[in-house]
Amino acid sequence: MKLVACVLLLSGFFIVLAALVVLTSLGQRSAFVGAGFGVEFLGLCLLTQAYRTHRKEHR
Amino acid sequence: MNLELSLFSMMLIPFAAAGLALIHQGLGRSRSAAHAMLASLCALAVSSIVFVLFGASWAGSTGAAIHSFAAGGVHWDWLGAAPFFARGLNYDASDAASLSRSLVLCLELLAVGVAAIIPLSAGADRWRLGPICLSSALLGGVIFPVFAHWVWGAGWLAQLGANFGISNFIDVGGAGVIQVVGGLAALSVAWIAGPRRGKYSEDGIPAAIPGHNIVLVLFGCLLALVGWIGLDSAASILFYGAGLQQIVGVVINALLTASAGCLAALVVTRARYHKPDASLSSNGWIAGLVAGSASCAMISAESAIVIGVIAGVLSTYLIEIFELHLRVDDPGGAVSVHALAGIWGLLALGLFGHFPEGTRGGHLLAQMVGICALLGFILPLIHGGNLLLNRWSTYRVDDDGHWHGMDVRELGAGAYPEFVIHADEFVPR
């Protein structure tokens, strides 16, 4: 779960980079950078959840 | 460029480190107070030495050698390539370029110490001294230099305008380079070290573990203000060519953001708990300083107040969300105060900044790209590094050590041997 979360974080970053390289208009780039940020946010949520579950199991 | 003023401003930066160290130890337990202060010194010492030996090479500076690659028709400047052990510096040279490079190294050296102290807050009362030194070496040798190069060393984030036709990512006083990097390291440490013993019940309800010396915390806030003024001023001069008039604005804005952050937190806590909370108000003060440092030379006084108020309110609620709902035990609130207030500050620069060129949309997009780089690349780098170090040398002290306190466990004696009786000392374990 933690590994998947880290992969999601990196994927979001590469979506942002791809948006800069491939797209040209400000609107399209903003939309894709927003999407990349969304993927990173999912990764953060998953990482947080992974540590919460880990603690519960250890208690 | 006013290099003398930048050197004078740099001399104030250690006050920021001193302020943060006092805040961390004041918000921790009395039986870990000496450990907290020694850990701050060790973090500063290790990160500084490792930064000069290796990190400064990768952080680089404008015009210095770089590692780069071409992809997508763009030249990506991703890492500095100056000689190791700071051999590229010549302190005898009298030309302005050499002097400027030396000053950049000096500023980054002081900044990396501040960044290394931030995670200590999240690991208070349970993070061992040896792993603290290892983690500080990682921060000073790899993490900080990479992002500092991207932003302050003319790396790819500082060249977004030239390469992609938007605007450059801007972080004048290091809200991203110092605060968010340190705050993300704090989040990683809080995850790995886990909550303090007795912090959460079986049902996951958090117990309040109040700081042992709120006077030191509040004094630390005042010291931090002095350090932040130095940090923001020196960085504005060296990286963005600010003149004397703009530096006056930097000083005014630093005080305004801190004051607005503190008062906002005070009002929110007064409204919610019927009495103002000193520790949350001090967190609001620091959150204001952190948020204001991204745009310190580029905003008006009114904008500084708005940025500070939002940072103060955000930090108050976020500390509660992290503790209650996400179960991240962060005694000093470093994740909310440094990482999240720093991200707000970077975004606020795009919203409120005065720019000589470029559209507001372009600036906002550039700031979002920088924030995504911090969350999507720097956080996995920090967390991966910390997980590896934790396998080698366990971050968390054992339960017995936690009960004795870090002072007795790691240093052999308490900070207040003659004056303190711990309430639970006579309670059977």
Estimate to the nearest angstrom the gap between the alpha carbon of B44 and the chain centroid: 12
Contact call for residues B262 and B288 (beta carbons, < 8 A): yes
Q: Is A30 on the interface with B (CB under 8 A)?
A: yes
Please state the rounded mean pLDDT for residues B106-131.
95
- Choice among A9-23, B26-40, B97-111, B343-357 with the minimum mean pLDDT: B97-111
Tell me the shortest Cα–Cα distance from B77 to chain A, in angstroms: 14
A6 pLDDT higher than 80: yes
Name chain A contacts of B324, Cβ cutoff 8 Å.
none
- Higher-pLDDT residue of B428, B167: B167
Tell me the shortest Cα–Cα distance from A9 to chain B, in angstroms: 4
Q: Is A52 on the interface with B (CB under 8 A)?
A: yes
pLDDT tens for B129-160 read 999 999 999 999 999 999 999 999 989 999 99
Name chain A contacts of B375, Cβ cutoff 8 Å.
9, 12-13, 37, 40, 44
Please state the rounded mean pLDDT for residues B231-247.
92
pLDDT reported for residue B426? 53
Closest CA to B231 of B114, B339, B309: B114
Please state the rounded mean pLDDT for residues B253-269.
97
pLDDT reported for residue B429? 57
Please state the rounded mean pLDDT for residues B228-242.
94
Please state the rounded mean pLDDT for residues B410-423.
76
CA distances from B39 to B44, B132, B178 (A): 8, 7, 18
- Place B357 in a pLDDT band, splitting at 50, 70 and 90: confident
Scanning every residue of chain A, which has its alpha carbon at the shortest distance from the alpha carbon of B381? A6
Name chain A contacts of B362, Cβ cutoff 8 Å.
26
B204 pLDDT higher than 90: no
Average confidence score pLDDT of chain B: 92
Of residues B165, B326, B368, nearest to A48 (C-beta)? B326
Q: Is A35 on the interface with B (CB under 8 A)?
A: no
Instruction: Give kind and range of the element (H or E) at residue B77.
Output: strand B74-80
Tell me the shortest Cα–Cα distance from A32 to chain B, in angstroms: 10
- Choice among B68-72, B117-121, B322-326 with the minimum mean pLDDT: B68-72
Tell me the shortest Cα–Cα distance from B346 to chain A, in angstroms: 15
Percent of chain B predicted with pLDDT > 70: 97
- Place B392 in a pLDDT band, splitting at 50, 70 and 90: very high
pLDDT reported for residue B100? 83
A57 pLDDT higher than 70: no
Q: What is the interface pTM, i.e. ipTM, of the complex? A: 0.96
Contact call for residues B178 and B51 (beta carbons, < 8 A): no
- Choice among B41-55, B88-102, B129-143, B259-273 with the minimum mean pLDDT: B88-102
- Place B424 in a pLDDT band, splitting at 50, 70 and 90: low
Please state the rounded mean pLDDT for residues B84-91.
78
Contact call for residues A10 and A52 (beta carbons, < 8 A): no
pLDDT reported for residue B283? 96
Scanning every residue of chain B, which has its alpha carbon at the shortest distance from the alpha carbon of A12? B376
Estimate to the nearest angstrom the gap between the alpha carbon of A9 and the chain centroid: 4
- Place B399 in a pLDDT band, splitting at 50, 70 and 90: confident
Contact call for residues B56 and B105 (beta carbons, < 8 A): yes
Q: In angstroms, rounded to a whole number, what is the distance separating the alpha carbons of residues A2 and A4? A: 5
Instruction: Indicate yes or no: CB of B369 within 8 angstroms of CB of A40.
Output: no
pLDDT tens for B91-108 read 776 777 788 888 999 999
Estimate to the nearest angstrom the gap between the alpha carbon of B7 and the chain centroid: 21
- Dihedral over alpha carbons B193, B197, B198, B200 (to 10 degrees): 20
Scanning every residue of chain B, which has its alpha carbon at the shortest distance from the alpha carbon of A29? B365
Measured at the CA of B240, the angle between CA B358 and CA B163, to 5 degrees, comes to 45
Estimate to the nearest angstrom the gap between the alpha carbon of B355 and the chain centroid: 25
- Place B87 in a pLDDT band, splitting at 50, 70 and 90: confident
Instruction: Indicate yes or no: CB of A37 within 8 angstroms of CB of B375.
Output: yes
